[in-house]
Structure 1
């Protein structure tokens, strides 16, 4: 099963990863990171829906996302 990891403290909340996810499982966290942004994340129960396409990681301008297959 693929695993997506977000370096939440580096995320600036641009939302590019949310728009490119074919499964629409990425969203914004309710909490704020140290920079004052709501970081992107995948809710724990939805990670199993990830197909490991890595579109989110390729789209991220700040290299916040790592996808392990």
Structure 2
């Protein structure tokens, strides 16, 4: 995943050490945490085969390409 280009990877690489106002810090924190364990989520398990998967919650921030891309699709 190190070579994957995403907003989360870009923020993780270039955000440390940057001076941001509180609003931009909050937005960047939401974008960084989006669809990760830090946002929480739910575990789904199949009653028939016992397979399970975890679905993490999105941040739903208007600046987030993951959340707004999904909203645009719907």
Which interval holds the TM-score relative to the shorter structure? under 0.3
Give the TM-score normalised by structure 1. Answer: 0.25
Greater C-alpha radius of gyration: 2
Structure number with the bigger relative contact order (C-alpha 8 A, sep ≥ 6) is 1
